[in-house]
Chain A
Amino acid sequence: MSKKLPRFRAAFLLLGSMLVVMLGSSGAWAQGVTTSSISGLVTDANGEGLPGATVVAVHTPSGTRYGTTTNTSGRFNLPAVRIGGPYRITVSYVGYQEQVREIVSAELNTPVAADFRLAEEGRQLTEVVVTSQRGGVIDSERTGVATNFKRENFERLPTISRSFTDFSTLTPQAGPGFSFGGRSNLYNNFSIDGSTSNNVFGLSALPGGAAGTPISVDAIDQLNVSISPFDVSQGSFTGAGVNAVTRSGTNEFQGSVYGFYRNQNFVGRNVEGQRQEQLNFNFYNVGGRLGGPIIKNKLFFFVNVEQERQADPAVLFPVGGTNSQGQPFQQTAARADLERLSTFLQNTGTNKPWTFDPGSLGTFDQLTQNFKFLAKINWNINDQHKLVVRYNQLNAFRDTPPSNSGGFTSAPPGGRQNNNNAIPFQYSWYRQNNNLQSIIAELNSTFGNKFANNLQVGYTAFRDFRQAGGGAETPNFPLVDIVGPNGNTLTSFGAEAFTPNNRLDQDVIQVNDRFDIFLGKHTVSLGTANEFYKFYNAFTPQIRGVYQYNSVDDFINNVTSPSAANAPTQYALQYSAVPGTPVPTAEFSAAQLGFYAQDNINLTRTFRLTAGIRLDVPTYDDSKLLRNVVTDTMRFAGGEQIRVNQLPRTNYLWSPRIGFNWDVLGNRSLQIRGGTGIFTGRVPFVWLSNQVSNNGVFFGTVLRQGQANNANFPFNPDPAAYVPQLTGEPGVPLAPTFTINATTPNFKFPQVWRTSFGVDKTLPGGWIATFDAVYSKDINAVFIRDANLAEPVGTLAGDGRPIWGNASGTAGVNPPFDRRINDRIVQALVLDNVNRGYSLSMTAQIQKRFARGLEGSLAYTFTDSKDVNAQSASTAGSLYTGQAIVTSPNQPNLSYSNNLIPHRVVGFIQYRMEYLNFLATTVSLTYQGQTRGNYSYVYGGNPNNEGISNNDMIYVPRNQNEVILVTTNAADTRTTQQIWDQLNAFIEQDPYLSKRRGQYAERNGAYLPWQHLVNLRLLQDVFTNVGGKRNTIQLSVDVQNLLNLLNSNWGLAQSAARTNLLNFVGYETPNTNTAATTGRPIYSFAEQSQNVALSNPFINNLTLASRWQLQLGLRYIFN
């Protein structure tokens, strides 16, 4: 560490001095990702460039003026102009007639080209050439693959969730869950007005988690999804860069108030003719926006406020309920016990001086709620300087039932969540809060016609934390699980095991600056993009202790008169092993510094080349990390030493990129564009934080199983009652066995080498056809390995894959055979790089965008994406165990990516018609046709004995000799032959397995059937003009899965019937403590139900995914 801190500081100093240099040199202008630009050529009647001509562009709604003069060759650039329009451009030159042109709009990241040919005073220009056009699909700055969504799309296309992800998914290259091009959704960079709004920690792809997106669609003006921008100023992703630019105020007051609503009556009940139960719920989303001038032409504001709330019933299996056969739930049969327990807890009594309110057993609203606020100021300081300041915040939460997990010990039987056996008390639920506040200021400046500067400074604070159910304080009380008469958990009360202290604070500071120099045909850009991160993560599972009792009586008696007969059957406690620190936290800071230089060259009038290089310097401060004196002395696989207190060294990641755009015919009817270069992203910081908290020294554990071992340790309401005495040294005593997470010292952020090639061609009738191909090769992909996993000890007979020895769990037993190199270490998971993996996507698209009325697009995308680790989980454990494998989990096989959608058709059409001077109707439809996803056929259990269940891919047998099958359980009445016949028939009819006989199944090799999803939006406007303003009342109907509304057989979503196709039940000869088995593995192939063979690989998804949903909205608009 001592070496790293100076480096961190040095990087800071370097950045600081660079900023000073850039700001000190009276800069220029810049094209940031929040703006558009206008550029062109001013010539005389003979086509000669006119140097020194004056160009003034006015964004007419706001009166914002941009002025410049043409350079020696007659070119002009207006970088960083407000998105939207219309614009009025005036070009004047002494001795020539002034020319004025109006353009409809300037769109995000897609500049407007406007060429002017001026006639001399007194002379009529014989031919007026109008070559200006609004930015669009065909424009000279478009090199890579990108999709733009503009305000009309947000207003007119269907969205039932009122989330911008409903629009970004219309990007042809989009995959499931906000992923693009088959890559992990944790590798995107989502920004709002250029400020990083990702969940950079990476517990979910977007902030807000399950409770909502950080920004209302009513606040978004334009959304840009860039897959391969060759502009080196864009970085921090190897997936896609998604940037939303918010609305701005104009000279006219414009606003809207709106509300949307749906409930259980607004959803379909039928899936393939089968009627489904639908629980009551209600959802509303209400809000308003207002934009306008503070000082006309000078200072503008925009605000948006929105509240969204969904209420679902929390208790689906109430006390008093019965199942469909009329049999009472366990909690119904035990009603008297539960009532007695509740009374007992809330009152004092003999030997019970304390009381505890566990909350209710009755139903309550399970809420998912969020509040969004956004305010923006645009200040036209003068023609040269424009300042934008934007603030937004999100306050979101979601009520969640207690986790079913047992943490470091076995889970409570049947789980804690409400089911036909269990009903937890309300305060053992938890509320997950996801709050964020973000502010960003952007200053765009021009200096003469030579220089431009763009400065962005932003700060975002993410605050995620948990409360008890209903938003109450988490009780300072242990969690108690009580098992009911039928052996399943009956009830739980106390603090949810994973909730106390659970907190994640993220602070992200951004400082970006870009300086452009316009030198004739060259535009040189120098810039820096820097993010500084600070993380504070507390996660203290089971820190208040978890008791388990055999019955309500046992618990009550154990409190009042403890004995061995009523003792807990299990007590599990995880306590802080750091003296003086009751809540050990993962605290660290990091920074990613970026520097770039780029030249944008107009080689000819029709050929434009962009060449640039970017340097990213991720750097970490690990000064607050704790050592682990035990693991420091250990040697792992290959003699590796692991230091859990050291984060990776600072490294330098270079990203050279080159892009081109060729207007082949010079008339913008055929454009070829492309480029190649390296893109550097970042990893979700939770992958590094895992190391900070899983260092083996934060926590010690107490685990007492069996009533005999708990006879002298009765229930104690004080969570700290059984915390052992600490020795005074962090982490001593350590838990007897534990897992550590680490990162290799030279770990690098992910980098891909991405090449793209595209062609756009105008077709008759205003259509544009586009072909795009993007190929990304992983240079530094991420994978995770267990450095404590010993070499395999043999080969699985009748299969060929390696197998491992047992974990002895105690030191020194048969070390050559033990699969753990160090017996105390369960796993030593090390984050490392690998250079394998790629993704390819090819898109064919036609689109038509009329000025008014009709607009549509249809795209087909072929994608192939393979990797060695899906890289889409947050914990090291899931990253490691989540890969289906054939060989070693430390040498994962190249296979299909999790988010791969090989074939996808996506399209939309929208049409708006105004009539009778007071009515307007808008109809829009979106279509997405694609597989529902891919999956892996694996064995249930752990045939290769490497310690990970359900991750070994099956071998697909060709004949009965190749697989040993036995009955599934005692009730199974099938003969061996019948089991094989069923399995053989299943393989034969399965579209994937039938082609894979004689081979191992591949990770994510099997695909679910296609779903055809059509969504509809209908808008009916009634408007009237009052005082020059249009006032509109708008009724909206959004229908998701319209096909299911028309016919319950359509729009069907299906899931895999069983991915753990065969269940491993043992070997012919068992493993011994000194040798691996030589017997073949034995499997069972379960029936679908008693005497019914599993004969279909897919089952209907009966949830809302297969059913139509409808949402009504009412909106008032004035503009």
Chain B
Amino acid sequence: MKTYLNHIGTFATTGILTTALFIGCQSTEYPDPQPATGASTNQARFLFVNAAPGAPALNFLVENNQAGQSVAYGQNSTGYTAAQAGTIQLRARAASGNIGGVLGSNDILFRAGATNQNNFAAAANTNYTVFVTDTLNRPRPATSGGTNLGGPQFLVVTDNLTAPSAGNVGVRFFHLAPDAPAVSVRLQPQATGQTTPTFLNRAYRAISTGSGTTAVNFASFTQVPAGTYTVQVFTGATIPATANPALSQSVTLEAGKLYTLYARGLVRGTGGNTLGLGQIIHN
């Protein structure tokens, strides 16, 4: 009898404990995720330009992936490099040795700063031209708590690569000569009877002016007839009636193409760093 009851006890215990385990426990309740089935298609594209007088040849990286190798001063990377859209890092590194100057062995980083989280946000399906501007010895700004290290820095503009209408080209202009005052630019057509496009009052590194309805985006391409032009760069807010341009250079603009022209170099520059006109063909 006692053994019998003993067995009952054992069975009851085992049974109840097992039942408790199975009916008692529930799974956690989480919905099924809907993960992405492929890589992101939201991409941005980048073209890099070395416009920093005195800078060595640079390697450009987007999220530390190669986007342009050994781009010398006045040159740009070959074509656009696609990269993930969103909050990403842009980097320029000396192709060999150090960048030097204020940065020393540091790289040029977008909004440089060791812990800066507010990196550049690239919009999806958008093309960017990224310039490296400024001299190697641009001093570090005195702003308290600022993350700008001084030396060369990035300038990013958005590119609308819509092809110009037949027989036309798209042109835009940026002022990237660090020690020059604001400039005004005239494209003097070498053929007769054509319009004379101008880009007035362009401050150093300015990419737009005005705001609201009067805003002018310097990154927009202006359509002009294809042809050969003399690009005349004057200092000042307007094209002077009589004055020699600070810079004058002939360019041939082919129909259907998009051009960025930029003033580079230094007013007091010598050798390769004298004032010059940079040219980028986007398509």
Contacts and interface: CB of A to CB of B under 8 A. Distances in A.
Contacts of B86: 964, 966, 1065-1068, 1079, 1082
A971 interface: yes
Contacts of B34: 795, 798-800
Interface stretch (B46-54, B109-117, B170-178, B237-245): B109-117
Interface in A637-686: 664-665, 670, 672
Interface in B25-52: 25-26, 28-40, 42
Given A962-B35, A964-B40, A975 B64 contact: yes
Interface string A1038-1068: 0000000000000000000000000001111
B213 interface: no
Interface stretch (B119-127, B215-223, B263-271): B119-127
Contacts of B193: none
Contacts of A895: 28-30
B191 interface: no
A960 B37 CA distance: 10
B124 A1068 contact: yes
A207 to B, nearest CB: 34
Contact of A999 (B6, B21, B33, B119): B33
A759 B116 contact: no
B213 to A, nearest CB: 20
A487 B30 contact: no
Interface stretch (A75-83, A886-894, A904-912): A886-894
A389 to B, nearest CB: 44
B2 A665 contact: yes
A662 to B, nearest CB: 9
Contact of B35 (A670, A957, A966, A1068): A957
Given A800-B33, A955-B35, A967-B119, A973 B9 contact: no
A1079 B85 contact: yes
Contacts of A838: 24, 26
Given A665-B5, A1065-B117, A1082-B87, A970 B110 contact: yes
A110 to B, nearest CB: 21
A425 interface: no
Given A973-B64, A1068-B85, A840 B29 contact: no
Contacts of B88: 966-967
A304 to B, nearest CB: 43
B89 interface: yes
Contacts of B28: 866, 893-896, 1002-1003, 1005
B145 A672 contact: no
B124 A998 contact: no
Given A487-B144, A840-B25, A887 B31 contact: yes
Nearest to B32: A800
A895 B29 CA distance: 7
B24 A966 contact: no
Contacts of B121: 1066, 1070
Contacts of A1030: none
Given A665-B5, A966-B84, A970-B111, A894 B16 contact: no
A972 B110 CA distance: 12
A166 interface: no
A362 to B, nearest CB: 30
Contacts of B117: 969, 1065
Interface string A948-960: 0000010101101
B152 to A, nearest CB: 15
Contact of B145 (A487, A964, A973): A487
Nearest to B66: A975
Nearest to B65: A975
A564 to B, nearest CB: 16
Given A894-B26, A969-B117, A976-B84, A1000 B33 contact: yes
B84 to A, nearest CB: 6
Q: How large is the interface on B (under 10, 10 to 19, 20 to 34, 35 or more residues)?
A: 35 or more
A975 B64 CA distance: 5
B17 A771 contact: yes
B246 interface: no
Contacts of B21: 840, 842
Q: How large is the interface on A (under 10, 10 to 19, 20 to 34, 35 or more residues)?
A: 35 or more
B20 interface: yes
A975 B39 contact: no
Contact of B109 (A896, A970, A1067, A1070): A970
A1080 interface: yes
B119 A970 contact: yes
A893 B84 contact: no
Interface string B1-27: 010011011001100110011001110
B113 A970 contact: yes
B64 A972 contact: yes
A797 interface: yes
Contacts of B112: 970
B110 to A, nearest CB: 7
Interface string A791-820: 000010111110000000000000000000
Contacts of B116: 969-970
B89 A665 contact: no
A974 interface: yes
Nearest to B85: A1068
A784 B8 CA distance: 46
Given A487-B144, A975-B64, A840 B30 contact: no
A976 B38 CA distance: 16
B26 A799 contact: no
Contact of B9 (A672, A896, A1070): A672
Contacts of B36: 797-798, 961-962, 1080
Nearest to A975: B64
Interface string A752-772: 000001010100000000010
B117 to A, nearest CB: 6
A1007 interface: no
From B33, B34, B37, B145, residue with most partner A Cβ within 10 Å: B33
A961 B39 contact: yes
Contacts of A971: 109, 114-115
A664 B10 CA distance: 12
Interface string B62-96: 01110000000000000000001111110000000
Given A842-B21, A893-B30, A971-B114, A966 B13 contact: no
Nearest to A962: B35
B19 to A, nearest CB: 9
Contacts of A972: 64, 89
Interface string A991-1034: 00000001110110100000000000000000000000000000
Interface of B: 2, 5-6, 8-9, 12-13, 16-17, 20-21, 24-26, 28-40, 42, 63-65, 84-89, 109-117, 119, 121, 123-124, 144-145, 147
19 contacts: A757-B17, A759-B13, A798-B36, A799-B33, A800-B35, A842-B21, A864-B24, A964-B40, A967-B63, A969-B115, A969-B117, A970-B113, A970-B115, A970-B147, A973-B64, A975-B65, A976-B63, A1069-B124, A1080-B42
Given A967-B88, A973-B64, 16 more contacts: A665-B6, A670-B6, A672-B12, A761-B9, A771-B17, A895-B29, A966-B119, A970-B116, A970-B119, A972-B89, A976-B84, A1068-B84, A1068-B85, A1079-B85, A1080-B42, A1082-B86
